[in-house]
Structure 1
Amino acid sequence: MSLLCRAVLSLRYIRVPMARNASTAFLIEDPKYSFLKDLGLKENNVGVFNGKWKANGEVIKSYSPANGKVIAEVQAGSAADYEACASAAQEAWHAWAELPAPARGEVVRQIGDALRENLQPLGKLVSLEMGKILPEAIGEVIEYIHVCDLALGLSRTLPGTVFPSERPGHVLIEKWNPLGVVGIITAFNFPVAVFGWNSAIAMVCGDATVWKPSETTPLVAVAVTKIVESVLQKNNIPGAIASLCVGGKGIGEKLVKDERMKLVSFTGSTAVGQQVGVEVQKRFGRHLLELGGNNAIIVNEDANLELFLSAALFACAGTAGQRCTTTRRLLIHKKLYSEVVNRLKKAYAGVVSRIGDPLLEETLIGPLHTPAAVDAYKKTVAEAVKLGGKIEFGGKIIEREGYFVEPTIITGLPHDSPIVKTECFAPIVYCIEIPDLETGIQYNNEVEQGLSSSLFTENLGDVFKVFIYMKIFIKLGHVLHRNMRMKF
């Protein structure tokens, strides 16, 4: 019986201009970054894998956002390279799907173990290339490991149901089968975890994958693929079931429109996600979308402020505001508004001295990912001030090598201001006064994009009120399909 599979997409297209302070020397040759070679990386790396490493596209320089210097180069894929990946994945899928699910789970378990062995160097690479602090980067790799553990269990519990039939001597059996080839396009801000979530589950379900990573984190993609490749080789599994094609917008567009990609999983901006959803739907494919967020915390009048402040500091400024779940709006009860703003300003002042190199132990906030992100931050702050906002804290670019900005608190803007309702992928939070919880819920729900919402209260009844009325927009898909069959 033939099995069908789909591609998963995750897009956030960003092209990197020449970085400030860039030099001709590659960081990979600096002994300080010896972990790069431990991962099998070189000065010049191939960014296409379909069982073999071969690429014919443009050469991409990977920059460290902490210092603006070139880490190493990756040769991206051409249109022909993508076609080779998709064809090889489709071919390899037939053999992979025929393996029993527990056998596929064993391979994924070994991938988790290989990630454990490379936890520290891979985490350091994420810090160096993406810019998040090392504990977050290591935590991201651990997320992939944990999903491998989850997938191992899933491989022995894939669902199926027996239904009664109205026909004598018959029963109805429902069996879930793989979709086929799953396309995965990931965003820069979670260059390991998002791929891992998609890949580990797709693999145990019997799907092959084609991965198009963000072109600004290609080294992470190459390193992760090398780890996966080592496990596949050890088990005599065709490498093409975990194909990689580094590239830009053109590669992503080909993947989205490719009918062999039965499912497209996209993690990235809402604007691009809408385009992806439409293109996939045109060919009656499935899509899995996890998009942008304009997330709010409601601070009710009975909130525990100590608990709130410790949570809000990371929620608003952690990862330099480059998470889709970053808190961008604080909806604060009028009785606590002044106190919360003042205490939050003091909390921010306490971490400014710990903005810096994400690989250093003392660092709490790293850089923005690209010069373009710095420009977007600068323009957003200027626009907020133009519209009547007051900079309570931050608002400036930090003049040092790399792409650093101050975490920023803005007051004085109405809840429905266009700038407040627009997501800026930077550490900017808007403080908005509310008269009551009901108004806070209303303000929370009026944005077009949302991924997480929070309420700080000690009233259990208000917690359930939020469960009923709070809107969180999350788009989901599936990597399996069901077959209904009659069997004698």
Structure 2
Amino acid sequence: MSTKTELKTYLNYVNGKWEASSNEQVDTSINPANKEIVGYVQKSSLEDLNEAVAVAKNAQKQWGKLAGSERGDYLYRVANMLEENLNDIAETMTKEMGKTLPEAKGETARGVAILRYYAGEGLRKTGDVIPSTDSEALMFTTRTPLGVVGVITPWNFPVAIPIWKIAPALIYGNTVVLKPAQETAITAAKVIDCFAKAGLPDGVINMVTGPGSVIGQGMIDHPSINGITFTGSDKVGKLVGQGALARGAKYQLEMGGKNPVIVTEDADLDLAVDATISGGLKSTGQKCTATSRVIIQSGVYETFKEKLLAKVKQIKVGNGLNPETWMGPCSSEAQFNTVLSYIEKGKAEGATLLFGGKQLTDEELRNGYFIEPTVFENATNDMVISQEEIFGPVLVLLKVNTIEEALEVANESKFGLSASIFTTNISNMLSFIKDMDAGLVRINAESAGVELQAPFGGMKQSSSHSREQGQAAIEFFTSIKTVFVKE
């Protein structure tokens, strides 16, 4: 849509039209690899949100009456449009938040797959027949949509997360108002353009960009938004949940993680090293499921550490558009400063910095928000770097003696999103599955990963205890209605 020589201003999408915000204010989207301007996005007001909610509420009446297969046809057309525009959207994602181009392409392809999956959900059952105590009656359940759903999404997965919320919301008969992260709002606009070009009825899908304090809070408070699905920090998520609860709206929260990987003495260490690096440092560690704590049995600690450091030192950091780059920049100046502050806290607390920890200032990198991949050891599990979500390329090594101690350390966290273990011992596997307090547990695989057809969500303060993706999504986006019919 734009070229290197022109800077475009991207608009809100409301009632089937692209329009500027009522206050005529815009924000600048910055490339974190070089601080160049990618484009401009709307800094909208409550007036813009109110308009979007009103048209979504009106459109839902007819959208909800369509057959599931009809709604599925629309989603399938969106998937085709997204696939046609995959390269452009992926490149925009890399420019806006720094993720490497192969990762951005993979994420966009996942968005295509999610849309096709939920297109098929339009033909699945939505209820059950239940025997009645009255022999002359028929009793069954069906499901009804919530109505208007507010979707609030983060910058780290600007294609996949909005789509895995929007697609089930739409297939189950809801209409949507999306508030994407301002840092990646251009990517979001290009995704929404695929919905527009697929010909969805006016008002079914809407996007309003702007600050969370205005648009996000406006969604929380709006009496016509029947459900809010949010992915982001636990601090903001709690505010979303409290606000929605206060007015009786349904809410779904996916928040932070401090995800452990356990490496046992019988593990395949090369496999564990590769998965720890991939799970912890890909996407610059900016995943809610990223590996953060590496809990290693003492018998293999030194060997694992040597293998890990040897590979971490080989990581190529740079602009995500460079084919040689393995790890890109932090997504923004704010995230860059946050990660550096955590590294300083780790050193101040007495952890040993084994590698990295500094801003990269080589000629090609000095204008971007690049940090070396960072590894700490001699940390304790009560240190800030062991307990708080850093959301950056930082690994903390923790030594333990037994599998029981490893599980105890792994569970000593307010979060419970994902966890993995590397072991060839079936007893260890079973103990991990049974005792690990996390919504996603993976054996001999990295912590960062979930398949689109499987339920996804966390325990403890990682989630509101609901689940996203797969068929589990129907539980949030609909309500059960019990029907009793008698002649």
Per the TM superposition, whether the score is higher than 0.5 is: yes
Identity %: 29
**Aligned equivalent of 2:470:** none
Do the aligned residues in 1 keep the contact of 2:346 with 2:384 (CA within 8 Å)? no
CA contact 1:368–1:405 (8 Å) conserved in 2: yes
Alignment partner of 1:30 is 2:4: yes
The equivalent position to 1:270 in structure 2, one of 234, 239, 250, is 234
How has the CA–CA distance of structure 1 residues 48 and 113 changed in structure 2, closer, same or farther, with 3 Å as cutoff? Answer: closer
Which string of whole-angstrom CA distances, capped at 9 and with x for unpartnered residues, describes residues 391-439 of structure 1?
Answer: 1010100111111000100011112223311111111111000111111
Give yes or no for the alignment of 1:254 onto 2:252. Answer: no
Q: Which amino acid aligns with 1:30?
A: K
What aligned pairs does 1:21-420 form with structure 2 within 5 A after superposition?
28-30=2-4, 43-54=8-19, 55-57=21-23, 58-232=25-199, 237-249=200-212, 250-351=214-315, 354-399=316-361, 400-420=366-386
- Residue in 2 aligned with 1:468? 434
Q: 4+ runs of 1 displaced by more than 3 Å? A: none
The SS at the match of 2:17 is coil
Q: Any conservation in 2 of the 1:407–1:428 contact (CA below 8 Å)?
A: yes
1:458 aligns with 2:424: yes
Task: Indicate if the aligned counterparts of 1:266 and 1:288 stay in contact, CA closer than 8 A.
Answer: yes
Higher relative contact order (CA 8 A, sep 6+): 1
Give the match for residue 430 of structure 1. 396
Shift of 1:361: 1.4
CA distance in 1, matches of 2:229, 2:412: 26
Deviations 1:183-210 (CA, angstroms, capped at 9, x unpaired):
1010000111111001111111011000
* SS of residue in 2 equivalent to 1:414: coil
- SS of structure 1 residue aligned to 2:325: coil
Instruction: Report the equivalent of 1:34.
Output: none
Task: Specify the SS of the correspondent of 2:421.
Answer: strand
Separation of aligned partners in 1, 2:126 and 2:14: 32
SS at match of 1:471: coil
AA aligned to 1:315 is G
Whether the aligned pair in 2 keeps the contact of 1:319 and 1:366 (CA below 8 Å) is: yes
Give the letter for the 2:484 counterpart. Answer: M
AA aligned to 2:479 is H
Report the aligned-residue RMSD.
Answer: 1.4
Change over 3 Å in CA distance of 1:333–1:391 after alignment to 2: same
Partner of 2:28, secondary structure, is strand
- Whether the 8 Å CA contact 1:297–1:327 is kept in 2: the answer is yes
CA–CA distance in 2 between the matches of 1:203 and 1:375?
A: 38
Aligned match for 1:483, one of 459, 464, 481: 481
> Distance between the aligned counterparts of 1:418 and 1:363, measured in 2?
30
Number of residue pairs aligned between Structure 1 and Structure 2: 447
Q: Shift of residue 459 of structure 1?
A: 0.6
Letter in structure 2 aligned against 1:153: G
Alpha-carbon distance in structure 1 between the residues aligned to 2:173 and 2:10: 29
Q: Residue 321 of structure 2 aligns to a residue in which SS?
A: coil
Instruction: Verify the 8 A CA contact 1:225 1:244 in the aligned structure 2.
Output: yes
| TM-score, length basis structure 1 | 0.89
SS at match of 1:330: strand
**2:12, 2:227 → 1: CA distance?**
23
Query: Deviation per CA, 1:440-484, whole angstroms, max 9, x where unpaired?
Result: 111111110131100000011211111110001243261011110
Contact 2:256 2:389 in 1 (8 A): yes
- Mapped contact 1:316–1:326 kept (Cα < 8 A): yes
CA shift for structure 1 position 139:
1.2
Name which of 406, 418, 422 aligns with 1:440: 406
